[in-house]
Structures are given as C-alpha cells and as structure tokens.
Amino acid sequence: MNAVKHQRSFWTIAAVCAVCLTYANSFHNGFHFDDYHTIVDNPSIRSLRNVPRFFTDAATFSVLPANRTYRPMVSTTLAFDYWLGHGLNPLYFHLGTFLFFLLQIVAMQALFRGILDRVAPGEPNGVIAGLAALWYGLHPAMAETVNYVIQRGDIYSTLGVVAALALYVRAPRLRRTGLYLVPFVLAMLSKPPAIVFPVLLFAWVAMFEAGDGARLRTAAVRAMPAALVGVGLMVFEAAMTPKTFVASTLPKSDYLLTQPFVLLREFGTFFLPVHLNADTDLQAFHSLNAEALWGFLFVAALIALTAFLARRSVTRPIAFGLLWFLVASLPTSLYPLAEVENDHRMFMPFVGLALAVVWAGTLLLEQVAAPENRALRRSAVAGFLVLLGAYAWGAHVRNRVWRTEESLWLDDVQKCPHNGRGLMQYGLTQMNLGRYQVAREYFLRALRYTPNYPTLEINLGVVNHVLGNAAEAQAHFLRAIQLAPSDDEPHFYYGRALLDDGDLDEAVQQLRLAWRLNPARPATRNLLLRADALHGDTAAAQALARQTLALDPGDPQASAFLRDPNAGAESYWINASLKRYQQQDYPGCLRFAQRALALDGRSALAWNNIGAAEAAMGDLPAAIEAERHALQWQPGLAIARNNLADYEQRQAHPAASGATPEDLLNLSLRLNQAGQYAASIAAARQALRLRPGYAEAWNNVAAGYAAMKEWDAAIAAARQAIRLKPDFQLAKNNLAWAEAQKQLGVH
C-alpha cells in the first residue's frame, strides 16, 4: 500500500513539475489588451481598502463603462497582487494566476479519479486521471488564459466548478452541509459561465448515481439546491451589472448561426491546436453556408454519440466528458459576445474533453493490447508521453508569443491578416516604438477591414498628429467622435493632441467633455488637471488633484501639482513654441515662447525660440536681441551662440545670398499659393530687409497673416503697404477684408 501511495505521489509531483517547467517562461510576460483598462489604468485595484467596493460597485472592474461587469473575486485578487508586488509588477500577477491554475489541475485529477472509480475501481485510475489532467495542463490552448491576466476569471470559474463537483463526488457525507456549493458561489462571483455547474451536477447524478427507475427525477432533486443558488446569483449579478455594459454589437442570429462551426473548430483544436491566436479573423455567418452546416452536423453527431455512450456504464465517463464539452460551451455560444471565438473560451470545455479522450484511449488500449502484452502497453504510454511533450512545447512557444504586445500582435497578424483589430493592435506596438510610418501603414490596412472602428480612427489621429499631418489628424479625431459620440476616448486623445499643440481653449473643452463622459479614467483627470493649470484655472486643477488623490493616494502628478502648481508649465510652453516653429507658424512660436517667459524671464530656451521666430519672419535686429538675452542667462547655450553669429552675419551682409528683392517677392508669392503662409511671410520680410520701402512685400506679409487669420498683424502690414503706396488697390482690398473678418470675430 505504501508503494502505491509513493507511486501516486510521484506522478502527482511529476505532473506539477511538468506544468511548472512549461510555464516557467511566462512569469515575466507583460500586460495585454483588456489588461490595460481593468488593471494598468484602473485605480480601484491599487488599494486593498477598495475590496468591499468590488462586491457592491461593478464600476470598479474597469475604467471603460462598456466593459464594466460584476466580477468581484477577480478584482479582489488583482488588488492583492498589486499590493504584494508594490505596484504593477507583472510577476506577481502571473504567479497569482498560475497558482490557481495548478490548483485546478490537482482538483481535476481528484474529480477524474472519482468518476473513473465509479465505473471501474482500481489503482490505475489514479495514473489515468493524472494523465488526463496533465494533458489539459500542458495543452497550448490553455496558454492564453494563463498568460492573459484579466482572463483569470476563466480559471477561477472553472476551478470552482471542478472543485464543487469533486467535493460532491468524493465527499458524499458532506453533501448535507452544502459545502460543495461554496466553490460554486466563488466561481459565480468570478465569471458567469460557472452557471453550468447545476447542469453538470444533474448529468453526474443521472449517469452515475441514480437508479434506472427514477433517474431524471433523482438528478433534478439533487441538483435543485445548486440550480436555485445559480439562478439567484445570475439575477443578482444582472442587477449589479451597470447598464453601460455592452457585451456585443453582432446580430444575435448571425452569432448563433456561427457557434456550431466554432465548436467544431474547438473540438479539432484539442487534437491539433493550429488556430490559436489572440484575436480571430473568423467573421459571423450571415446565412446558412457550408461551414455553418458542417457545424450543425457536428453538434448533432456529438449529441448522438454522447447519448449512445451513456448507455453503458464503462463508457459513461466518455459521455460525461463530451457532455461537459457541450454544456460548458453553452454560455459563450448562446450569449452573444464581441467576437465569435476566443482561445480562452476553450478553457472550461476542454476539462471534459481531456477526461473523455484519455478514458476512450484507455478502453481502446485494453481492447487491442492484452494485459500480458506489456511491450505494446508500454509503447502506447511512451507514445502518449511524447505527445504530451509536444503539447508542452507548444504551450511553451505560446508563452513566448505572449511575452510582449509586439510579439503577441505580430503572431496575430501573421495568422489573421484580414483582422482589422489585430492589424491596428500591431500598429500600436510600432507606434509605441517610435516607428510612426510603419504604424500608419498598418492602421490604413486595418481601415480596409474595419472602416467604422472609432478606436482605429483615434489611432490614425494620433499617428498623423505625431507625423505633423495636422489636418488629417483632426479629420480622424472628429470622425472618431462622430462614430462614438458618447465615448470618452475620442475626446481624450483629441484633447491631448490639442494640448500638445498649445490650443488650450479647445483642449480644455475636449478634456472636460471626456471627463464628464467617464470620470473614472485617471489619464483624463491628470491631463485635464494639467490643462486647467496651464489655462490659469488653478481652483479647478486643485479640485481635480484632490479627487485624484482620494481615489489613488499615490498618484505622483496630483501630489506634485499641489506642491507646486507651476511645475512643468515653462517646459510645456517652450515645447509648444518649438512645435509651432517646426510647423512654420512663427507668430504662434513667439506667442508660446512669451508665455514661457511670463513664468521665467530668464529662460534661455524661450529667448532662443523668440530669436529663431523673429529671424524666420525677417526681423533680424529683434532676433539678435533675443539671442543676446538667451546668452545673458545661459552663456553656454550653443544653439543660441550659433544663431546669434548667423543672424549678425546676415544683418551685416544682407545681399550675400545673391537674391534680389524681386526674387524674394516672387518666392513669397509662390509660397503663399502653396499654402506655406509662414514661409511666405518670412520671404517677404527678407525682401524688406533689402528694400525697406517695398510696398508689394508688405502686401505679401498682409496676405500671409490674413490667410493664417492673424487679423491684427495683417491689418498693420496692409496699412504699411498703403502708406508707402497710397493707390495700392490690392493692399486696400486686403485691409478691408482683414478688418471685416476681425469685426465678425472669425478665428
């Protein structure tokens, strides 16, 4: 007996070690996709004091209103991992997930042993049950759920169902206490698919415990407590789920039509996992096509096979496992979700398949190999272990795929080249690496497959803004707002771009709208805080900072602002000034540099920007004076020293370039016609340096400022042209136009 126990312990330890080795390369993998709005950006998980709120307020699950659902056990463990790791350390989140995965495998072995002992008691059942649980634990399809932190809800719900049934099967004396319902309740508080437990309990009793005379009645009576608890929890969770939650936008009929084919693919994946990817490009069927028909035929055949195998006691574990696969697939098959298939949806159904397939293989081996034919039996076991090794290697490779966002989405676009969301996600990884042109190409490819995707429009706005395509960026931001008017994200990213460009009035308006739509997003609060402070609304910024610290006491930006409201403001205006210079908006460059000087009159960088802008607009004396100010406050500033030398040289030898005033005037006209108004003004001012009384050049300056809607500057330049040439009709027209537009308040 001791030898048997030692052997059983050896196989259990070996199985646990095999799973640990398979997933050893996963513990430092990053956060992915939905992890960001539920974990990374979610302030609620950053304090264990919020644990009671997880059970009373589903808004704590995510910062996105459309994704808020009631999963308090998931949020509780996330908060614990955050506390344990002193922040967003992926190691602790992955360790927390993996330990429950190991616990589930142990519970599966106990359940499988109890089921097999019911039909064919014997010591080999321990090894058979262990091999079935091990196959499941090493299967590559499980890698998504184990690596995808927020999908730990699938692990908790599956563990709860397995543990509840294992307690019911292995500890019949405790049934009266209702102890077996505790794991079920915890599973339901983790993810709704656990509702299948009463059905599986009914199937267990009907197949393995009830007598032939009243099989269904006995099963119904014994499953009733679980059913009542399950229905009660479903009603409760439905009431707790916010009305903003959106599970799917797919037509329900199309979704349901597609699901039988999805089950066929998943069944095949158990044996040959070739469809594994983060985001499928399988589209919902709109009509009964050949694939849909094959799916319905498969489901019908599987139901018939299950009924046939349930007739004999020895094959009932196979029938129960197949029924488990079908029943565990029902929640995600009947309730429309955002995608028609996901790898993590196979997590619970494959528990039943592992039992069914391994027990079927055992019965087949007994049929073809007599007990005395040890060589054949050993060869079969050796072959099975080699198969497990291949599956373990596949899971190990999938862990590498889940290492970073770039590796994950590269794998997805290679397998699903027509998946717009996958293409967009890979483009995002390239944008985060600074490969903006590559990112834009992937976004445009994604646009072919998902032309009405607000998030894609946002990303196109962001990348075009970074690339300097201001008009195109604005068009995409506005398109995103049009597609999702009640979503905060388009307003947030548009506001961020406007703030980056120094358009404070519009930026504050967009950010306030984003905040009103979703006050839970920390990034919006922090950016609005900054915008309010820069805009001069210190009281509003202080109120936001206090609200932020109430939600997240460790927020560094809110704390820094309350210590010093002007922290970072000078660098913001200097950067905004530099950006305007790069866009050839020289008046804007001057305006923002002067805002920086209002905060610190000794800012050498601000003075240097003023000098560069003045020089570009042709006012070399003003440029020289500004550069001298820059060097007065920072003598070692090389760029100011170089600029000063250049401007003094140009002032001393204005005709050194060989260009005549007429040449510069013609250049100014061409630039104006090309829409390069700031450069046109600069060329006209260069002409004025050579010929100060050149009325035509002053008129070009006026036209350039008018095109940029800088009405005061346009009026002043037009008046100067008319003073020099009183009968200059074109200048008079420009003056009248600028004065009329200013009076109308056109901006």
Q: How confident is the model at residue 131 (pLDDT cuts 50, 70, 90)?
A: very high
What tokens appear for 46 in the block? 């950053």
Q: What is the mean pLDDT of residues 455-459?
A: 96
CA distance 693 to 125: 104
- Lowest-confidence range among 166-175, 386-395, 668-677? 668-677
Tokens for 393?
């290697």
pLDDT of residue 655: 53
d(CA 529, CA 551): 15
Task: Flag whether pLDDT at 425 surpasses 70.
Answer: yes
pLDDT for res 687: 85
pLDDT at residue 404 greater than cutoff 90: yes
- For residue 175, the number of C-alpha atoms closer than 13 Å in the C-beta half-sphere is 15
Could you report the per-residue pLDDT of 303-359, keeping only the tens digit for each?
A: 999 999 999 999 999 999 999 999 999 999 999 998 999 999 999 999 999 999 999
pLDDT for 502: 82
- Listed ranges 371-380, 518-527, 646-655, 693-702; the one with the highest mean pLDDT: 693-702
Q: Domain limits of the chain?
A: 19-243+253-396, 424-543, 569-652, 661-744
Q: What pLDDT, on the 0 to 100 scale, is given for residue 6?
A: 60
User: Token pair of 548, please?
Assistant: 């932020």
How far, in Å, CA of 613 to CA of 610, rounded? 5
Q: What percent of the chain has pLDDT over 70?
A: 97
Q: How confident is the model at residue 4 (pLDDT cuts 50, 70, 90)?
A: low
More confident residue, 256 or 642: 256
User: 21-35, 399-413, 484-498, 689-703: which has the minimum mean pLDDT?
Assistant: 689-703
- Distance from the Cα of residue 589 to its chain's centroid: 36
Of the candidates 330, 328, 321, 326, the one whose C-alpha atom is nearest the C-alpha of residue 352 is: 321
Q: Are 507 and 516 in contact (CB under 8 A)?
A: no
240, pLDDT greater than 60: yes
The answer to whether the CB of 349 falls within 8 A of the CB of 266 is yes
- Comparing 424-543 with 661-744, is the CATH topology the same? yes
Helices then strands, counting H and E runs in the chain, come out as 36, 0
Largest interatomic CA distance in the chain = 119
In sequence order, which residues have a C-beta less than 8 Å from that of residue 607 and are 6 or more positions away? 593, 597, 626, 627, 629, 630, 633, 640
Which residues does 155 contact at the CB level (< 8 Å), separation at least 6? 97, 100, 101, 104, 145, 146, 347
pLDDT at 657: 52
Q: How far apart are CA 430 and CA 440, in angstroms?
A: 9
Give the chain's length: 747
Higher pLDDT pick, 289 / 381:
289
What is the amino acid identity at position 371? P
Question: In this predicted model, what pLDDT tens digit does every residue of 272-281 receive, in sequence order?
Answer: 998 899 998 8
Residue type, 237: E
SS3 of 589, please? helix
Separation CA 147–CA 30 (nearest Å): 9
Closest CA to 513 of 524, 522, 503, 502: 524
- pLDDT attached to residue 397: 96
25 pLDDT above the threshold of 90: yes
Looking at domain 424-543, its CATH architecture is: Alpha Horseshoe (1.25)
As a whole number of angstroms, the distance between CA 283 and CA 212 comes to 45
* Average pLDDT, integer, range 169-196: 95
More confident call, 541 vs 505: 505
Mean pLDDT computed over 373-394: 86
Q: Does domain 661-744 have CATH number 3.40.50.150?
A: no
Kindly indicate the confidence band of residue 619, based on its pLDDT and cuts at 50, 70 and 90: confident
- Measured distance CA(342)–CA(332) in Å, rounded: 10
Residue 258: pLDDT over 70? yes
Mind listing the pLDDT tens digit for each residue in 35-65?
999 999 999 999 999 999 999 999 999 998 8
Query: Long-range contacts of range 560-568, CB-CB < 8 Å, 24 or more positions apart?
Result: 561/529, 561/530, 561/533, 565/533, 565/538, 565/541, 566/533, 566/599, 568/530
> 745: Cβ–Cβ under 8 A, 6 or more apart, which residues?
none
562-614 pLDDT tens trace: 777 777 778 888 888 888 787 777 888 888 899 888 888 888 999 999 998 88
Spatial separation of the C-alpha atoms in residues 301 and 298, rounded to whole Å:
5
569-652: CATH class: mainly alpha
Residue 141's pLDDT band, with cuts at 50, 70 and 90, is: very high
* Residue 617 near residue 644, CB atoms below 8 Å: no
Residue with tokens 């014994």: 222
